[in-house]
Amino acid sequence: MSENSNHPLNILSASEISDAVSVLKKFNKDHENSSFSYISLSEPDKKLLKDNTDLERIVKIVGVDQKSNGFEAEINISKKELLTEEKISNKAGPTYTLAEIFGAIELTMGDENYQKALEKRGIKDLSLVQIDPWPGGGFVNKNIKNGNRALRAISFLKDSVKDNAYARPIQGLIAHVDLTEKKVVEIEDHGVVKVPEAPARYDKEGQETLRENPKEIAITQPEGVGFSVQDNLISWEGWKLRASIDPIEGLALHQVSLNDRPIFYRAGLSDMVVPYGSSDPMHWWKAVHDGTEYGFGTMTNSLTLGCDCLGEIYYLDAHKLAFDGSVETIENAICIHEEDYGVQWKHNDATQMGYNEVRRSRRLVVSSFATIGNYDYGIFWYLYLDGTIQLEIKLTGVVGISAYHEDIHKSGQDFKISSELASPIHQHLFNVRIDWDLDDGENQLFETNVEPLPINNANPEGTQFQAVSSHLKKESEAQRNIAPEKSRTWKVVNPNKLNKVGSPTAYKILYGNTPTLLSDPNSPPGKRAAFAKYNIWATPFQNEERCGGGRHTVMHSGEGGLEEITAQDRNISECDLVTWLTFGVTHLPRPEDWPVMPVEYCGFHLIPVGFFDQNPTINLPPSCSSKSKSNKQ
Ligand SMILES: [Cu+2]
């Protein structure tokens, strides 16, 4: 990627990040000892950007100072000026920095009472103990002073350096770490449960035998790939979009258009929560916001060619601000490639022998992976030839785990996944914010339900049903859940652009089966993750409204999220529309999820409805690959 290209939405370069930090430290010497969690482009006003691509680059840096106070600074890197610097309220603090996470591990490891609790369990070799710090889920230990930042540390035991420590949870032991005071304030000990013994390695060397290698599938594109990339601008089959990595949201898409018709301006993960539903003392309090508390972008992986990504791949690197103010490059952070996707359309004319028209579908994949603690999440955006856009989240990694004990664990809340281990019931709920720009204008939101018609003279046999659409005109009307029995969908409409049949152009939001939040609305997770109460919310665009659970969520009790954002009940009847889509998985762990979980999927589709006048792939030429072989040839 060239360093000097200047589109306002280009990915931040390494030199821009180091320049920004230098400017910040030059204007405020106190930041020599600050630790950082976030840098991102302050994206320019989208109206300004429409007619002007030569704009100054402004970034936002977030972190915590030496006294654990959060700060947020805006820096003009084009002019090397510090524009603003504000303290972040300690009621709702910024994302944990890696310095705090490592600090919590170190403080726990060095705590005498923690070491004594380990000794009670027969554990003396600290080098084999793995400590995982967790946010408190909105529950604050009584010994943590109001306004201080904190983490809880739980522990696991390895039998060697390369071992999977999650096989041996150290049950009943939680260290409460006050990050502001830099000390362990309590060792919570619920009693000794035998540490499980069986190993659960998932690497090659950890398996007794490996099955025979399946036959190779080689994906080659001898004529080259069908897409082109310039900086972070991707073009493919009429689609144009930009991709970037935001420290909190992870992979974000910008200015998505098809045949020069805008669809949405920006889409990214606004928040995410993993509430646990078990009564086990190791888990009941967990409800981590993996985005705003840890950061999908900060935890993004470098992808490996041929392993993570198969075929003809184009990679984009991302640069992040490390906790110490240096720049880290995540090589191969975003993977771009094409995939064959089976049949796009087909008809076999039964009246004419041999008249068989078939066209193949393909999709462009823009993806990334982030590892947050024991879980790994793939963010996969797919663009299809027929105008469909799909977001798929891939969930994998290692499930939360406890040493099984019949007095602690309850069927229905804790699932035995091996003879020694139980894994608690929990949810993974994602919220994606989409800033629509459908057909370049103001948009409306409709809900469609399909309902049976009453039996009467017009419907004497009760065979009839109909689609009933209603215009959602206020924020309060647009807080809705899926209803599979009514085939419920929502439609984003441009009322000022009509298609050939005279209806406004539109895209519909189509979910699969997806849960909403199960925590009580008055519980800390219920308040902090209120965004997950509804599958859809809608708001009129406001630049600062980016996070469904509030801009900063560390130690907060529910301020600033979608409930507060929509409390004014603003008019959305025709506006610069933003939808907030909640979806996810309620996870009942199974033996097959151990020792590492096969990928589980969730997400949604955005499908054109009258955006085109007919099947937009009708003009696809037939392509019957001569390289395919069968048992007959
Ligand atoms: Cu899970």
271, 290, 376, 439: which one is catalytic?
Answer: 290
Query: Could you give phi then psi for residue 358, rounded to 5 degrees?
Result: -145, 140
Give the count of alpha carbons within 13 A of 294, CB side only: 26
Q: Could you give the angle at the alpha carbon of 29 between the alpha carbons of 27 and 31, nearest 5°?
A: 100
CA 303–ligand 1 middle distance (angstroms) = 22
Q: Please indicate whether residue 290 is annotated as part of the active site.
A: yes
CA 338–ligand 1 middle distance (angstroms) = 29
Provide the percentage of residues in the chain whose pLDDT is more than 70: 99
CA 536–ligand 1 middle distance (angstroms) = 22
CA 416–ligand 1 middle distance (angstroms) = 14
Coarse DSSP helix, strand, coil percentages of the chain, rounded to the nearest 5 percent: 15, 40, 45
pTM over 0.75: yes
pLDDT at 4: 42
What type of residue sits at position 232? N
Identify the helix (H) or strand (E) that includes residue 48: helix 46-51
Distances (CA, A) of 54 to 48, 78, 128, 254, 390: 10, 11, 54, 17, 32
CA 22–ligand 1 middle distance (angstroms) = 41
Query: Could you give phi then psi for residue 548, rounded to 5 degrees?
Result: -65, -25
166, 375, 404, 534: which one is catalytic?
Answer: 375
CA 75–ligand 1 middle distance (angstroms) = 39
DSSP string, 289-326: -IIIII-TTTTBPPP-BTTTB-SS-EEEEEEEE-TTS-
CA distance 426 to 220: 41
* Whether residue 86 has pLDDT greater than 80: yes
pLDDT at 350: 82
- Residues 432/566, Cβ–Cβ less than 8 Å: no
Instruction: Return mean pLDDT, the chain.
Output: 95
Q: Which residues contact 211 (CB under 8 A, 6 or more apart)?
A: none
Could you read off the pLDDT of 300-324 as tens digits, one per residue?
999 999 999 999 999 999 999 999 9
Tell me what the mean pLDDT of segment 199-219 comes to.
93
- Residues 70/63, Cβ–Cβ less than 8 Å: yes
Tell me what the mean pLDDT of segment 504-524 comes to.
95
* Whether residue 627 has pLDDT greater than 90: no
- Residues 433/291, Cβ–Cβ less than 8 Å: no
Could you read off the pLDDT of 225-259 as tens digits, one per residue?
999 999 999 999 999 999 999 999 999 999 999 99
CA 150–ligand 1 middle distance (angstroms) = 24
CA 38–ligand 1 middle distance (angstroms) = 26
Identify the helix (H) or strand (E) that includes residue 18: helix 14-27
- Residues 478/507, Cβ–Cβ less than 8 Å: no
Could you read off the pLDDT of 522-573 as tens digits, one per residue?
999 999 999 999 999 999 999 999 999 999 999 999 889 999 999 999 999 9
Could you read off the pLDDT of 569-609 as tens digits, one per residue?
999 999 999 999 999 999 999 999 999 999 999 999 999 99
CA 426–ligand 1 middle distance (angstroms) = 6
DSSP string, 148-215: --EEEEEEEE-SSTTS-GGGSB-TTEEEEEETTTTEEEEEEE----PPP------SGGGSS--PPPPP
Per-residue pLDDT band for 164 (boundaries 50, 70, 90) equals very high
pLDDT at 3: 40
* Whether residue 295 has pLDDT greater than 60: yes
Pairing of strands 489-498, 504-511: antiparallel
CA 427–ligand 1 middle distance (angstroms) = 6
Q: Could you give the angle at the alpha carbon of 483 between the alpha carbons of 611 and 496, nearest 5°?
A: 25
CA 37–ligand 1 middle distance (angstroms) = 25
pLDDT at 284: 98
CA 589–ligand 1 middle distance (angstroms) = 7
Per-residue pLDDT band for 195 (boundaries 50, 70, 90) equals very high
Per-residue pLDDT band for 267 (boundaries 50, 70, 90) equals very high
Instruction: Decide: helix, strand or coil at residue 600.
Output: strand
CA 45–ligand 1 middle distance (angstroms) = 38
The 150-157 sheet, strands edge to edge? 129-134, 150-157, 173-178, 183-189
> Residue 460 forms beta bridges with which residues?
none
CA 484–ligand 1 middle distance (angstroms) = 23
Per-residue pLDDT band for 5 (boundaries 50, 70, 90) equals low
- For the chain, the first-to-last Cα distance in angstroms comes to 45
CA distance 176 to 144: 8
- Residues 352/568, Cβ–Cβ less than 8 Å: no
User: Tokens 């008249």 — which residue?
Assistant: 355
Per-residue pLDDT band for 352 (boundaries 50, 70, 90) equals low
Distances (CA, A) of 48 to 18, 54, 224, 230: 27, 10, 36, 22
CA distance 166 to 109: 18
CA 398–ligand 1 middle distance (angstroms) = 8
* Whether residue 353 has pLDDT greater than 80: no
DSSP string, 441-463: S-BEEEEEEEEEPPPSTTSTTS-
Identify the helix (H) or strand (E) that includes residue 26: helix 14-27
Per-residue pLDDT band for 47 (boundaries 50, 70, 90) equals confident
pLDDT at 1: 38
Distances (CA, A) of 246 to 293, 312, 396, 468, 488: 14, 25, 21, 39, 32
Q: How many CB atoms lie within 10 A of CB 114?
A: 23
Closest CA to 61 of 79, 69, 43, 73: 73
User: Tokens 């600033």 — which residue?
Assistant: 560
Tell me what the mean pLDDT of segment 498-517 comes to.
96
CA 268–ligand 1 middle distance (angstroms) = 21
Q: How many CB atoms lie within 10 A of CB 427?
A: 22
Distances (CA, A) of 314 to 244, 268, 338, 340: 14, 21, 10, 16
Q: Based on the number of CB atoms within 10 Å of its own CB, is 575 exposed (0-12), middle (13-18) or buried (19 or more)?
A: middle
Query: Could you give phi then psi for residue 492, rounded to 5 degrees?
Result: -95, 125
CA 111–ligand 1 middle distance (angstroms) = 31
Tell me what the mean pLDDT of segment 54-81 comes to.
95
Provide the percentage of residues in the chain whose pLDDT is more than 90: 92
Q: Report residue 235 as tokens.
A: 């073009």
Q: Which residues contact 609 (CB under 8 A, 6 or more apart)?
A: 491, 506, 507, 508
Q: Which residue has the higher pLDDT, 45 or 180?
A: 180
CA 428–ligand 1 middle distance (angstroms) = 6
pLDDT at 2: 40
- Residues 44/267, Cβ–Cβ less than 8 Å: no
Reported residue count of the chain is 633
